[in-house]
Chains A and B, each alone.
Chain A
Amino acid sequence: MISLPQRETKLMVAVHGWSGILLGLLLYAVVVTGAAAVFASEIGIWSAGHVGSRSAFAQPMAEAVRRAGEETPAKYREAVDLFEIGDHELGAYFHHHETDAEGNLIARGIFYAFGPGGEIRERREGTDEDVYGARNDNALEHFLVDTHVRLHVPDPWGLLLTGILGLAMLVAAISGLLIHRHLFKDIFTLRRGAKPVLFNRDRHSVAGTWSLPFAFVLAFTGSFFSFYGTVGVPIVAMAAFGGDVEALTEAVYGTPGKPDPRPETALGLDRAMAHAIQRAGDVPTFAAIENFGRADAKLTTYHAPAGGGLAPVSLVYDATDGTFLQDKPLIGPTPSAGGTLAGIMSPLHFGNFAGMLSKAVWFGLGFAMSYVIYTGLRLWLARREAGSRSLEWLERGVVVVGFGLPLALLACAGAFFLSMPAGTALFWVPAGFLMVSALAIGLGAAWRDVAGLAGALELALGVVMLALPPLRLITGGPGWTTALEAGQVIIPALDLALLLAAGWLLWRVFGRLGQRRSAQEHPVLQAAE
């Protein structure tokens, strides 16, 4: 498609190949967990057995929040975050912003969890990390997202690492485009019966070509997310506000309005919430109150996009009497080009702008991109095969990570089911992951041949997928009838998806075994696809 001179093409091949082989396995981990994380909240609901279908935002909350406010020191009433925790229960985090010892902007305050009748069930002091961190009932969901966002490396290094991996993917996408001279001519050609190098090249470039635009978008938005807090905000704050990150945050996110510190009760919450649900077409995903207890208190509700929009919707209300004030863009006090651009970064990355449909497509694209990375690594190895046994450790490593990572993630779900009832999920989910990873690595070292290793891991994947729905039921999870009666379709849907995927994998594995037997002494060099 783009004809570069030979020297430049060779350089691009080197850049593409080396960035791929050095960072490919880590990038594969980020992409696989990213694909799964598209359904993080559904996985959370499925794993914890949440059957509640009525949102906490759809029920009166003003009284509960008012009582919590009375118990909260005045300094923490600067802002209140309202969100759902557990099984559609209300959580409120009264806090103020401060700069910690390292100069980072953090929130500190008091978190409340409310029971179904509005009574305060839990009260805890802490920073935003404590409040929004992992709990027993969302340990699986949290583990998955944390692996994707920072590979469990502490901040800011984890974010910098995933940011660099995002840039590597951006480089791979662009260099891949520059290398491939006949992008559209080759797009439908997949020669399965060809020699390993040609076959690997075809399957890598076909999948890569089809997913190229999205690889670009996801790499770019992903590295944006990783870098903007760690590097971007401090740099821009330094340049524009002399280092005052709070001033930058206020300029970008703040709600305009004249300050009015006279005390006044936030009586308008329920009225505002009802209006917001009607105007946006659905319950909010999150809500925030500024200046709680003052006459200038404002409530902002955040909703998923509606009516063909990509960016989330946010509505601002006067919290004292519930009057609707404005449709506020997510970024910036009024609509703007910069605000719109920044506002679509999330929907483009998470694929959550059109409910299940967009999530399903984004999951599929994530799967395609994982496949591109895996086949790229196999291609790099196939090109260097030529009788060399010195790279066999790398080939085994690629297969172990390629199949072992999804296996370890699924095993986490099993560990979660076994440990959540006892309240020890926060330990056992990562422990389960590490144990199964070690097992996969052990298999990788011990198994006779690479093709057999791939088949064995694929079989293990199918078996674990098959076992998860029954395990969920045995450990006390709600059955399909209970879930459907409560209007919760996600639980049966995820069970079904696992069973179907297991069926497909096992069909492939046993199909190949059957082929092998009938082919007798044909050496099976066909790599597991």
Chain B
Amino acid sequence: MALAIGAVVLSTAALALLCLVDPKRLRALRRKGGGHGGGLRWVLVGVVVLPGLALALAGDGAAFMVWLGAIALTGWFVTLAASPRAQDGPQG
């Protein structure tokens, strides 16, 4: 299972980067730099998917399923962590 954990860590790192450069997120935060264009993001998507693909091709079904489930969770956590705390509470 060490392989699965390693794959999850790698994919999560790429997900974190994808999140940071995500154009819609940056627009919502009214941040400068409207996010990177297609090129970098597709490379990052590739890095996210590659570890899982490697596990699947190696025939390790259990590790692949663990990886798939884990990145669903880490992707969600990354998004939660990258969203700002509400300073004054919601308006309206």
Contacts and interface: CB of A to CB of B under 8 A. Distances in A.
Question: Do A and B come into direct contact in the complex, CB within 8 Å?
Answer: yes
Interface of A: 185-196, 199, 206-207, 210-211, 213-214, 305, 308-310, 347-348, 351, 353-355, 357-358, 361-362, 364-365, 368, 515, 519, 522-526
A247 B19 CA distance: 55
Contacts of A210: 72-73, 75-76, 79
B59 A308 contact: yes
B69 A308 contact: no
Given A213-B68, A361-B70, A194 B90 contact: yes
Contacts of B19: 188
Given A308-B63, A361-B69, A362-B69, A211 B28 contact: no
Contacts of A362: 69
Nearest to B78: A188
Interface string B46-60: 000000000000111
Contact of A353 (B25, B65, B73, B88): B65
B76 A193 contact: no
Nearest to B41: A184
Given A308-B60, A368-B73, A354 B79 contact: no
A364 B80 CA distance: 15
Contact of B62 (A207, A354, A522): A354
Nearest to A311: B61
Contact of A522 (B72, B75, B89): B89
B92 interface: yes
A207 B89 CA distance: 21
Contacts of B58: 308
A208 B78 CA distance: 14
B66 interface: yes
Binding site secondary structure of chain B = helix
A210 B58 CA distance: 25
B85 interface: yes
B81 to A, nearest CB: 10
B72 A189 contact: no
A353 B62 contact: yes
A190 B72 contact: no
Contacts of A305: 62
B76 A357 contact: no
7 contacts: A188-B22, A305-B62, A309-B62, A357-B5, A361-B73, A365-B72, A515-B89
B84 interface: yes
B69 to A, nearest CB: 4
B13 to A, nearest CB: 15
Given A193-B88, A310-B61, A348-B65, A354 B4 contact: yes
A522 B87 CA distance: 12
Contacts of B78: 188
B72 to A, nearest CB: 5
B55 to A, nearest CB: 9
B82 interface: yes
Contacts of B24: 185-186, 188-189
Contacts, number: 117
A270 to B, nearest CB: 30
Given A185-B24, A368-B72, 19 more contacts: A188-B78, A188-B82, A190-B82, A192-B83, A193-B90, A206-B80, A210-B72, A310-B61, A348-B65, A354-B63, A354-B65, A357-B66, A358-B62, A361-B69, A364-B69, A364-B70, A368-B73, A525-B92, A526-B89
B36 to A, nearest CB: 13
B89 A519 contact: yes
Contacts of B61: 308-310
Contacts of A365: 69, 72-73
A188 B91 CA distance: 22
Contacts of B80: 190, 206
B40 interface: no
A188 B1 contact: no
A308 B76 contact: no
Contacts of A523: 89
Nearest to B15: A188
B7 interface: no
Contacts of B22: 187-189
Nearest to B80: A190
Given A308-B59, A357-B1, A357-B5, A193 B69 contact: no
Given A185-B24, A368-B76, A357 B4 contact: yes
A210 B18 CA distance: 14
B18 A188 contact: yes
A191 B79 CA distance: 11
B47 to A, nearest CB: 16
B14 to A, nearest CB: 13
A332 B72 CA distance: 33
A465 to B, nearest CB: 21
Contacts of A206: 76, 79-80
A188 B14 CA distance: 13
Report, nearest first, the 7 A-B pairs whose CB atoms are least far apart: A308-B60, A190-B83, A361-B69, A210-B76, A188-B22, A192-B86, A188-B19
Given A195-B90, A310-B61, A357-B5, A189 B28 contact: yes
Interface in B1-51: 1, 4-5, 18-19, 22, 24-25, 28
